[in-house]
Chains A and B, each alone.
Chain A
């Protein structure tokens, strides 16, 4: 089955600086890679996702890059703000009909220092 590794486990950055979180996956068949943000005691919220036919996707201050050859993908947050502080999870799956299960990374606790 799929195995997703995520690094770092904790990350502290100064407000306004950029944050990068990296994930690797094991199953070359995986073709969908979402990123979730989870605040304490809350549900995970999708912040951005990418499919394997695209190398990069950007949404305002958030971007994701995918390297299929190396089987890794990264989340980039620019101009970080205090409200970006949360736990971030990457995930991966092979999807055909949309009902396939996701495999999550171990999470990164991001702290933005004011």
Chain B
């Protein structure tokens, strides 16, 4: 399989601050990565599709100015939660497709807690 990493694995921040989460494909190049948010006991909700070298595609209802996505290289996508509030506390997971394979490889997730 392929390996996707995320950093940090958990973060606690104060309300109003910004938090950056990194997603890396370690052994393959990913032109497309996906960012999900998962609240407790709920499903994975796609936030946006991150495309290398171009703007991300956001799902309906996701504020692009609040959740900034940058996919500057074929192995790294970042999600920045700006002006975080307690309601942004959640489990954020990224994933990537390896080449033309259908399987999505998920990162280990980042648990964000906003105080």
Contacts and interface: CB of A to CB of B under 8 A. Distances in A.
Interface residues of B, number: 24
Interface string A76-89: 00000000000001
Given A49-B102, A98-B99, A101-B34, A42 B108 contact: yes
Interface of A: 32, 34, 41-46, 49, 51, 89, 93, 95, 97-99, 101-107, 109
A98 B102 contact: yes
A102 B9 CA distance: 23
**Chain A interface mostly:** loop
A103 B59 CA distance: 12
Interface of B: 31-32, 34, 41-46, 49, 91, 93, 97, 99-104, 106-109, 111
Contacts of A107: 42-43
